[in-house]
Chains A and B, each alone.
Chain A
Amino acid sequence: MQAISAAADQYVIDDVLCVECKGYFAEARCKWACPVNACVPERESYLVRAVSLANKGARPVIYKGGPKVAGRVLQPHQLEKVNP
């Protein structure tokens, strides 16, 4: 695997593999040198990585109504899993 490879009309830098300047400069040398600011590594966004609790398997928490709730600690019911 190469850190720097040739594409059609430009070079592509894999910022995970490239360690050419790591530890030597505060800013990546490719970013510093690039005239069109094109090789700033794409940061993997936390927006894309966010996964909700339900998506991780959290089940609905159900509170049944009725006069019996007065003065009592609320005890939720859990649905049986429909799609095991």
Chain B
Amino acid sequence: MAKRVIIVGGGWAGSAAALCARKAGAEEVILLERTDSLLGTGLVGGIMRNNGRMTATEEMIAMGGGDLFEVCDRNSRHVNFSFPGHKHASLYDVAKIEPVVKRYLLEKGVEIWNFSRFTEVDVRDGSIVAVYLESGDRVEGDVFVDTTGSCGAQTLCTDNGNGCVMCVIRCPTFGPRVSLVGKVGIKEKAGKKPDGSFGAMSGSCKLSKETLAPHIREELERTGMVMVPMPEHMINRKKLGVKACAQYALSEYAENVILLDTGHAKLMSPFVPLHQLNQLPGLEEARYVDPYAGTVGNSMRFTDLSPRDDAMKVEGNIDNLFCGGEKAGLLVGHTEAIVTGVLGGHNAVRALAGKDPIILPDSISIGDAVSHVREEMETERGLKTKFTFSGSVYFERMKEKGLYTTDKDAIVKRVKKAGLEDVFNQRVM
């Protein structure tokens, strides 16, 4: 019988895991997604290749697992541009990326199930044999990857955040996230805000371009970015500290309204109440489109983080469970989700084939990040910190260790030296 890989959760990590499981030779790969769309929080993302993400992206391309990065490149609205604290970024079009990724996965032979919320699991002798969907359908598999993320349920946001902000996760309609790792009885960890309280806030917000003054919209579409200074009485630097995305916790983001052109107008200054936003020149008519209640900030994140090793194998009493994305720890961002998803999906197939997993060495920034974040998740300080290639503490570490470079030839050389060239393009079964 054909071996089957089941990926639970169709965000960036799950999409990457499914794709790489197929590339590694799995005959059947089923990607289960709770909602009607792939990409999850990727639907509000857009920012790629900024700062150390350039290095990680090129490393993954050299290792043969960069398909989705190249898909983003082909659907970029702006490339190689800078905004405060960030260099050589590109912005993919969030309004157009989902069908492109869906079609790409289908062409590579991934089977995609929408409206397929996982709710129960069947475990026999330490292995998962099947998952049940809310619809009652039973989906059997040989190896499983948990890429369910860490957003929702709605009560997570109402109890620990500013309330349900009606974000792209859409818990009430499609049902809340269920953690596969949690369902098999493995104890998960939760990230914390700097004050020690539960979870982290995502500050990502989109404005409708149609509601911006024509000159703002024109500048946004031409240059990729608009900065509107805030009057002193509206500046609130404290709110930078509660964001999940530490790479944007810079004073420029509190002192200005910064908009990036990701198809919609991505608002980089978090938690600006609409009535304040509307006092700024050119933003008098601005409206939030995601989350609709952008006035109070976005969804709660970074709960239910799985214990795992550096091969993305979930540690615990289950022998055929891997993970990726936010489930795999405190790595923030779409680039970070894709690289851990690739690793989880590929190693799941290696496990099926009875082969040793790929563990990336610390001479590769992705390998260093995966092991560093795993170690940091064991500490109280680490759980209050968010890690990303694109800024804050992990980007500093990349620079200190000499890992950050934008020299593609040097990156290819680095990957070759580690014996990892094109490794994620190799069939292992």
Contacts and interface: CB of A to CB of B under 8 A. Distances in A.
B175 A47 contact: no
Contacts of B112: 62-63, 65
Nearest to B155: A47
A36 interface: no
Interface in A33-56: 46-47, 50, 52-55
Contact of A69 (B106, B116, B175): B106
A45 to B, nearest CB: 9
B337 to A, nearest CB: 21
Main secondary structure of the interface of B (DSSP, over half): mixed
B154 A62 contact: no
Contact of B154 (A47, A63, A65, A83): A47
B292 interface: no
Interface stretch (B69-77, B166-174, B404-412): B166-174
B280 interface: no
A65 B111 contact: yes
B87 interface: no
B110 A65 contact: yes
Interface in B97-121: 102-103, 105-117
A61 interface: yes
B36 A61 contact: yes
Interface residues of A, number: 25
Given A62-B111, A70-B107, A52 B36 contact: no
A79 interface: yes
B46 to A, nearest CB: 24
A59 interface: yes
Contacts of B137: 60, 79, 82
B115 A50 contact: no
Interface residues of B, number: 31
Contacts of A58: 115, 135
B263 to A, nearest CB: 21
B317 interface: no
B102 A63 contact: yes
A82 B136 contact: yes
B219 to A, nearest CB: 36
Contact of B115 (A53, A64, A66, A67): A53
Contacts of B116: 60-61
* Candidate in A50, A59, A65, A83 with the most chain B CB atoms within 10 angstroms: A65
Given A47-B154, A60-B113, A60-B114, A55 B106 contact: no
A50 B173 CA distance: 7
Given A54-B133, A64-B106, 14 more contacts: A50-B171, A52-B134, A52-B172, A53-B115, A54-B117, A54-B135, A55-B134, A60-B114, A60-B133, A60-B135, A60-B137, A62-B111, A66-B106, A66-B109
Interface of B: 36, 102-103, 105-117, 133-138, 154-155, 158, 164, 171-175
7 contacts: A52-B175, A61-B116, A64-B106, A65-B105, A65-B111, A69-B103, A82-B136
Interface of A: 46-47, 50, 52-55, 57-67, 69-70, 74, 76, 79, 82-83
